[in-house]
């Protein structure tokens, strides 16, 4: 069969009837305005809700809803069966994905931290070089003015002249040192006063905030053992049955050939029980 409006081929269950008798895809009616002109014959107005509530249409929509939910449940069962084949490999696969993300984060942090350390290291070297240049600029003129050769020759001459007035010679040396050589030597030795001081504090890093944590995406996801005793005497032979209903919530039970019972609630929480 096919839609009389868009000519799309559909199973009979996927086509709803218009009051004029034409069959159209269900989504054409569901997406229409509350009151619309028939888009097939263009001869009458249609109330969307009343059209959907026509006996034949209502039955088809109930069946479509059932088939959709049945398909969803069977898909869940397929996933569970796949998990049951090799649960360890299934979990390892997802664990590997998480480990890869952790490894990547580790490398990023190490790279960033190493870059931070290297940048600061370079700044310290530049600081040493800057201080070195500043001191050199300040003493360069003094270095040119000091004639150590002349001083040595004078001292040697005094020694050869065999001068015995040591008090006078001592005073001359002291004056030379304090007024000339000592001051310049102090400037020359300034660079030796520069020192590197080790950092004494280790950074207080909150690793969970800095690196990350492992947790469930949904805070409601909690895995715990089920200790509720289970008794079941009715064989379902792989069929499912509504066993409880409160308001809009319901539970579905399925059984397997291995005498396992699978309970799925309206929020798709799954419990597997064995006799």
Average pLDDT in the 205-210 region? 78
The pLDDT assigned to 57 comes to: 93
The pLDDT assigned to 79 comes to: 86
The pLDDT assigned to 6 comes to: 94
Please report, for residues 82, 229, 232, 270, the alpha-carbon distance to residue 226 in angstroms, rounded to integers and kept in the order given: 22, 9, 16, 11
The percentage of the chain sitting over the pLDDT mark of 70, rounded to a whole number, equals 61
Residue extents of the structural domains in the chain: 12-81, 86-135, 146-193, 227-275
DSSP conformation letters of 227-247: ----------TT--EEEEEET
pLDDT above 50 for 227: no
Confidence of residue 219 (pLDDT cuts 50, 70, 90): low
Whether the predicted model's global pTM rises above the 0.85 cut: no
Contact indicator for 273, 230 with CB cutoff of 8 Å: yes
The pLDDT assigned to 178 comes to: 54
Strand, coil or helix: what is 126?
Answer: helix
Q: To 10 degrees, what angle do helices 55-85 and 87-145 make?
A: 70
pLDDT above 50 for 247: no
Average pLDDT in the 99-113 region? 91
The pLDDT assigned to 4 comes to: 93
Average pLDDT in the 88-96 region? 83
- Higher local confidence (pLDDT), 120 or 219: 120
The pLDDT assigned to 234 comes to: 40
The pLDDT assigned to 96 comes to: 87
The pLDDT assigned to 264 comes to: 57
Confidence of residue 104 (pLDDT cuts 50, 70, 90): very high
In this structure, the number of other CB atoms found within 10 A of the CB of residue 173 comes to 14
pLDDT in tens, 114-157: 998 899 999 999 998 888 888 777 777 666 666 677 677 777 76
The pLDDT assigned to 14 comes to: 86
pLDDT in tens, 158-182: 666 666 666 666 666 666 655 566 6
């Amino acid at each position: 069969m096919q839609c009389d409006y868009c000519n799309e081929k559909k199973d009979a269950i996927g086509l709803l009837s218009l009051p004029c008798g034409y069959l159209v895809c269900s989504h054409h009616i569901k997406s229409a305005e509350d009151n619309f002109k028939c888009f097939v014959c263009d001869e009458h107005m249609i109330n969307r809700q009343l059209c959907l509530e026509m006996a034949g249409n209502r039955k088809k929509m109930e069946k479509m809803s059932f088939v959709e939910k049945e398909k969803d449940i069977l898909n869940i069962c397929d996933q569970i069966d796949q998990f049951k084949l090799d649960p360890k490999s299934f979990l390892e696969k997802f664990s590997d994905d998480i480990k890869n993300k952790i490894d990547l984060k580790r490398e990023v942090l190490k790279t960033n931290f190493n870059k931070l350390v290297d940048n600061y290291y370079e700044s310290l070297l530049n600081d040493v070089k800057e201080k070195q240049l500043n001191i050199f600029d300040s003493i360069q003129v003094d270095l040119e003015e000091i004639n150590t050769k002349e001083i040595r020759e004078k001292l040697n001459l005094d020694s050869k002249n065999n001068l015995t007035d040591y008090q006078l010679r001592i005073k001359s040396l002291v004056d030379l040192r304090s007024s000339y050589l000592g001051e310049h030597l102090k400037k020359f030795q300034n660079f030796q006063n520069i020192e590197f001081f080790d950092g004494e504090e280790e950074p207080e890093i909150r690793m969970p905030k800095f690196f990350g944590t492992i947790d469930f995406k949904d805070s409601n996801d909690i895995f715990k053992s089920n200790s509720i005793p289970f008794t079941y005497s009715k064989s379902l032979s792989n069929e499912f049955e509504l066993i409880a209903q409160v308001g809009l919530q319901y539970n579905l039970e399925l059984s397997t050939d291995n005498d396992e019972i699978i309970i799925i609630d309206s929020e798709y929480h799954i419990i597997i029980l064995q006799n």
